[in-house]
Homo-oligomer: A and B are copies of this chain.
Amino acid sequence: MIAEHINPFLTSLANTMQTMLGCSLQRGKLMLKSDHVTMHDYSGVIGLTGKAVGTVVVSLSKEMAIKATCKLLEAEESEITPEDIIDAVGELANVVAGGAKAQLEEYEMSVSLPTVITGQGHQVMFPSEVTPLVAPYESEWGPLTLEFGMTPMKVNA
C-alpha cells in the first residue's frame, strides 16, 4: 500500500456519500487493519484489477444500510426488501471503487462485480502480503468503515 493510493478512496467515499445519499461523514483515525477491527452488519466487497490489484470494502451498520437504501430508492423503510439492501450496499461499494479508480488512472483499473457479506461478527481478511488500511467513520445514520488494500504488482494465477 503506497500512501498516494489512500486519498482517492477516502475522497471517493466522501463524494459518494454526499452526492448519492446526502450524508456527511466524520472520519476517525486512519489505521492499519488488525484482527481487532470488527466489520459492521453489511460489507460490500469489490475487486479492482489492472496494473495494480486491490479490494475495497465498505462496511455499514444495519441502520445505516437501511437508511442508505431508502434514500437511494426514495422509499420508506416499510417498502424495502432484504434484496434491496444487498443491492444498495453492493452499488455503494461499486461507486466508491469506481470513483477511486478514476483517480488512479495510471493503473488502468477495472472494477469487478460486488458481493455483499452479511452476518454478525463477520470479518473480511486480506492476504498477508497486503497491508490494508482502515478508515472508520461516523455519520448521522450510524457507523461506516472503509477498508482498502492494493498492490501494484499484478497477482495473476
Q: Given A49-B49, A155-B113, A156-B98, are A122 and B119 neighbors across the interface (CB < 8 Å)?
A: yes
- Identical copies in the complex: 2
- In angstroms, how far is the closest chain B Cβ from the Cβ of A155? 6
Interface centre among A49, A50, A94, A101 (most CB of B within 10 A): A49
Does any Cβ of B come within 8 Å of A120's Cβ?
yes
- Kindly state the separation between the CA atoms of A110 and B95 in the bound complex, as whole angstroms: 20
- In angstroms, how far is the closest chain B Cβ from the Cβ of A10? 17
- Kindly state the separation between the CA atoms of A125 and B86 in the bound complex, as whole angstroms: 7
Interface centre among A55, A116, A122 (most CB of B within 10 A): A122
Q: A126 to chain B: which residues have CB within 8 Å?
A: 86, 90, 113, 115-116
Q: A87 to chain B: which residues have CB within 8 Å?
A: 127-128
- In angstroms, how far is the closest chain B Cβ from the Cβ of A37? 13
- In angstroms, how far is the closest chain B Cβ from the Cβ of A2? 15
Count of chain A residues with a beta carbon within 8 Å of a chain B beta carbon: 50
**Binary per-residue interface labels of chain A (97-115) against chain B in the complex, 1 for a CB within 8 Å, 0 otherwise:** 1110100000000111111
B47 to A128, Cβ gap below 8 A?
no
- Kindly state the separation between the CA atoms of A123 and B118 in the bound complex, as whole angstroms: 5
Does any Cβ of B come within 8 Å of A124's Cβ?
yes
Q: A46 to chain B: which residues have CB within 8 Å?
A: 47
Q: A118 to chain B: which residues have CB within 8 Å?
A: 122-123, 125
- In angstroms, how far is the closest chain B Cβ from the Cβ of A134? 13
Does any Cβ of B come within 8 Å of A45's Cβ?
yes
Does any Cβ of B come within 8 Å of A143's Cβ?
no
